[in-house]
Chains A and B, each alone.
Chain A
Amino acid sequence: MKEQRQHHPPSWAQRFVAWYCKPGLVEDLMGDLNECFERNVHSIGPRRAKLIYIIDAFKFFRSYTVRRPIFVNPFMKQIMIGSYVKTSGRNIMRNKVFSFINILGLAISMCVGLLLIAFLLDLRSYDRFHKNGDRIYRITNIMSSNNEQSGKFASTSIKTGKLIREKVTGIEAVTTMRNNFSGDAKVGDNILPIKGYWAEPSLFRVFTFPMAEGNPETALKDPYSVVLTETAARKLFGNQPALGKAIQIDTLTYQVTGIIKDVPFFSHISFEALVSLSTVEQANKSDRTFGAWTNMWSNSVYLLPTEHADMASIQSQLNAIAREENQAEENTKIQLELLPLYNIVVGESLRQSEGGPGFMGPHMPPVVLWILGGLAFVVILSACFNYTNLSIARAMRRIKEVGLRKTIGAGKGQVRLQFLAESVIISLAALLLSFLLFLLLRPLLINMAPEMQRLVKLDLTPIMIAAFIVFAVAVGVIAGFVPAIFFSKVKPIHALGNLSSVKMFKHLSLRRALVVIQYTITLIFITTTAIGYVQYKNILTFDLGFSTANILNINTQDNKPDVLLKELGELPEVTALSRSLITTGVGNAWGSTMKYKDSRDSVLVMTNHVDENYLPLHDYKLVAGGNFIARPTTAQATGEVIVNEQVLKRFNIGTGNPGKAIGEQIIMNGRKMTIVGVMKDFHYGTVENLIGPVAFTFWTPEDRAIISAKIQSADMPATLAKIESIWKKIDRVHPLEAAFYDQAIEDAYSEFSTMIKIIGFLSFLAISIASMGLFGMVVFTTETRLKEIGIRKVMGASIGNLIYLLSRGFLFLLSVSALIALPATYFFFKTIVLPNFPYHTSMQIPELFIGLLAVLLIALIMIGSQTLKAARNNPVTVLKRE
């Protein structure tokens, strides 16, 4: 029986041997094992034979039989990388022009990436210092009402905070903060303007603001308690201990109950002082609207749920609160929502309450980041294209090298790795250069706009440096990807045989496509900049309907303007002075309701309170009636109003004859007023806004005053210094707030100019990168065609012929890009951007073509100089080399 049965050695042991054994040894080794097994089956039985087989299978596991373990393979590659680095280094050194172009191009484009990375990392680091940061939420109010005030607000009511504390379960701490506590803190003779928030003791349970002195549990409990930051305390008290001391803020006395460490830069809440919320609550005890559900304009509520709290349950409890409170409201419905702390700075744009900032700290909508990221990506991709392009352009030369490697035995993977290593080395070299550029550009970026200074620091951190290196490697891999694939596919026979037999068509078209894409991007960038710049300049020089030249606007900041006015009037450089409530034309607004005969037709008109000198100083054109007359404030004086033509049109006063409107009665904010003058229409808001109805009334001493001074001076700095010294006499505490009207208008469009600067910078980069790429290509093509050129010259071709021959291909590519880019930009602006600006000037042909001309000029100079060099070559020297 036994003899007839076929016995097999245990299959797992067989597989084990096959697994570990070297391929060359496995056959005879297993044969031996099998032979012994057969023999043993007969002599000592199958069971023991199997056992012996297993034992032997393990015994053969020896150093010489075992194949190289798998982990050795990557390890070997590591060793190989050393050789890749060496070969790459040689290649880089051998092709200095190409390496230089590649490194410089990558470096220039990479600095955009570095800036963006630094920017993103800075934004990401906001509010991370709070110990329970991942658990903190802010309440968002979603308001829907009959009037315009609806939307998502970052602020909420004080009542919300109270209700959450009373009713919601699963909460560890809730804290309410009230916006914009500010005033002049006074200690003895020392006066310091101070800014902060009203806050509750629970603030220190929700947030991590470590207290240096004082008890966080009680510091913000009693009314008239103030907690100062260390810096504020030092400024006020010097080196004296501040705790327990009294500070005079405006007219009230506060007790210093705590000193906290300065607020970190990356905090969306930033302050110098915190005053107990109970202070305001006490002051507004009798005001029933103060704690109302709908009074949601200036408070923020933060909550810290317990660990592993059920957020869905908290949300539904919030919904229940909102439902109950909304029942009592007729017109207004409010929903409560939770916003995680980390989504405050980079996240959805929430509305701020009008008439006062109901919003804390810096904010960056993700869409801006996406746009910036997209632009940076385009620029970096362009540099990667350069690399790809130039590498493949050099294919003819390197194809032989690759062929040889392959013949010797290099696999596809090794060739691929070699080329990737080369591009990564180049991009790492570019990183060094680009890091220098980064350091150079960093201050420019930060100082580009005041918002930027408040938003980011761009200081180096270890994470940032690591991100830079990862980024450089990624760029290297992207840049080297196509060349690596391309060269790994080279067949040694083709490469080492007749080079002309290698089909170059496929990648030729790829190269062409890359050049076209690059130039299209460049042209779009440049035309965008040109159009944007023309529009911007147009806005700045826009005829607002009044004169702004040489006018200095001085904010009197709660000081009575009379003394200042008198002192300024004595300066010989000041030719005229006026007072007004606000500065118009820069986006400021002050509204009133106006009614004419039909008392139901109430219209919002923009207003300003001006004195009798305001209109002549600003050169407002009157079409009918006259200016205000200088006289003491009386009921009659404040009953006069000067309106613009829009008002007449709106109410149909005078039907086309402004003169008839003089003496007409209107009702403004419930008061009867008489029209004494009619102005020509002018821009009250910024140029983006349409011209609407405006009414000027007489300035009264109760109003805040902006003093406008018309200055005629040859030495402006000296004049400004004089004004400054006058200001110092009147207000020692607050620095002079004065700006020229033109400057104020420029500031009003700073967002716009920042955008133009960024796009301009990127387009400059795009031009440089594309130009460098083109330069490399031209150098390469002319070099490879030197012999052809020589022969043509011998045959009698003129230099002009040759230049035409060499540059026509490139010119064709440039024209293709122009044909794509110009219409694309044109339609983009025509249909999307410009319709958003009612007073834009129409696009002009020069704006569209100036970029094209610039790019063409640069390209032609490069192509021309190189082809000329090639064409001038003596054919004898070129042809002799054969």
Chain B
Amino acid sequence: MKGTNLGEFEELVLLTIAALGNEAYSVAICDELSDHTGRLVKLGVVHAVLNRLEEKGLVKSELGEATKARGGKRKRFYELTMQGKTALVNAKAMRDQLWARIPPLAWKKI
């Protein structure tokens, strides 16, 4: 199967889903990402990533209520699974560890 390591964008999407809570569906995720990363996030890319994350078992999804704005189509809401949460925590812990290992001097050279 695919590696369990999170890609950078995957991690961002996961974080966004966690941040949005109950409102995490593709368009909202896309908007949130655009707002907070400042880069132009395309809906198609988000979809692809959501799909991949679901395949990896990091998120799960279910269809919500239909809204008129969507032409009667239901939204698919995403939610972190236990594995997803673990993956995020692990990623953060790994980064924190690496941060902690940076000697203070290293910054001076820049």
Partners in one complex: yes
Which residues of A pack against B, CB within 8 Å? 25, 27-36, 38, 56, 59-60, 62, 64-65
Is B94 interfacial (CB-CB < 8 Å)?
Answer: no
Which residues of chain B are within 8 angstroms of A60 by Cβ–Cβ distance? Answer: 44, 47
Measured CA separation A150–B73 after assembly (Å): 86
Q: Which residue of B lies closest to A33 (CB)?
A: B43
- Check A28 against B75 for contact (C-beta < 8 Å): yes
Q: Known contacts A60-B47, A65-B51; can you find 15 more A-B pairs with CB under 8 A?
A: A28-B25, A28-B75, A28-B76, A30-B73, A31-B73, A31-B76, A32-B27, A32-B43, A32-B70, A34-B69, A38-B70, A56-B43, A59-B42, A59-B44, A60-B44
Measured CA separation A142–B46 after assembly (Å): 86
Is B48 interfacial (CB-CB < 8 Å)?
Answer: yes
Is B7 interfacial (CB-CB < 8 Å)?
Answer: no
Which residues of chain A are within 8 angstroms of B44 by Cβ–Cβ distance? Answer: 56, 59-60, 62
Measured CA separation A65–B48 after assembly (Å): 9
How many Å from the CB of A24 to the closest CB on chain B?
A: 10
Which residues of B pack against A, CB within 8 Å? 25-27, 42-44, 47-48, 51-52, 63, 67, 69-71, 73-76
Which residues of chain B are within 8 angstroms of A27 by Cβ–Cβ distance? Answer: 63, 73-74, 76
Measured CA separation A29–B46 after assembly (Å): 11
- Interface residue from A25, A30, A64 paired with B71 (Cβ < 8 Å): A30
- Check B42 against A31 for contact (C-beta < 8 Å): no
4 closest Cβ pairs, A-B complex: A31-B73, A28-B76, A31-B70, A34-B71
Q: Which residue of A lies closest to B71 (CB)?
A: A34
Which residues of chain A are within 8 angstroms of B43 by Cβ–Cβ distance? Answer: 32-33, 36, 56, 59
Measured CA separation A30–B26 after assembly (Å): 11
29 contacting pairs across A/B (C-beta < 8 A): A27-B63, A27-B74, A28-B25, A28-B73, A28-B74, A28-B75, A30-B71, A30-B73, A31-B70, A31-B71, A31-B74, A31-B75, A31-B76, A32-B25, A32-B26, A32-B43, A32-B70, A34-B71, A34-B73, A35-B27, A35-B70, A36-B27, A36-B43, A38-B69, A38-B70, A56-B43, A59-B42, A62-B44, A64-B48
Measured CA separation A92–B27 after assembly (Å): 58
- Check A34 against B70 for contact (C-beta < 8 Å): yes
Tell me whether A32 and B47 are in contact in the complex, defined as CB-CB below 8 angstroms, given that A27-B63, A59-B42 are known contacts. yes
Q: Which residue of B lies closest to A25 (CB)?
A: B51
Tell me whether A28 and B63 are in contact in the complex, defined as CB-CB below 8 angstroms, given that A60-B44, A64-B51 are known contacts. yes
Q: Which residue of B lies closest to A9 (CB)?
A: B71
Which residues of chain B are within 8 angstroms of A35 by Cβ–Cβ distance? Answer: 27, 67, 69-70
Measured CA separation A165–B44 after assembly (Å): 80
How many Å from the CB of A603 to the closest CB on chain B?
A: 103
Which residues of chain B are within 8 angstroms of A65 by Cβ–Cβ distance? Answer: 47, 51
How many Å from the CB of B82 to the closest CB on chain A?
A: 23
Which residues of chain A are within 8 angstroms of B48 by Cβ–Cβ distance? Answer: 62, 64
Q: Which residue of B lies closest to A27 (CB)?
A: B73
Which residues of chain A are within 8 angstroms of B25 by Cβ–Cβ distance? Answer: 28, 32
How many Å from the CB of A366 to the closest CB on chain B?
A: 66
How many Å from the CB of A372 to the closest CB on chain B?
A: 64
Which residues of chain B are within 8 angstroms of A25 by Cβ–Cβ distance? Answer: 51
Tell me whether A28 and B26 are in contact in the complex, defined as CB-CB below 8 angstroms, given that A36-B43, A59-B44 are known contacts. yes
Q: Which residue of A lies closest to B51 (CB)?
A: A64
- Check B47 against A29 for contact (C-beta < 8 Å): yes
Which residues of chain A are within 8 angstroms of B74 by Cβ–Cβ distance? Answer: 27-28, 31
Which residues of chain B are within 8 angstroms of A64 by Cβ–Cβ distance? Answer: 48, 51-52
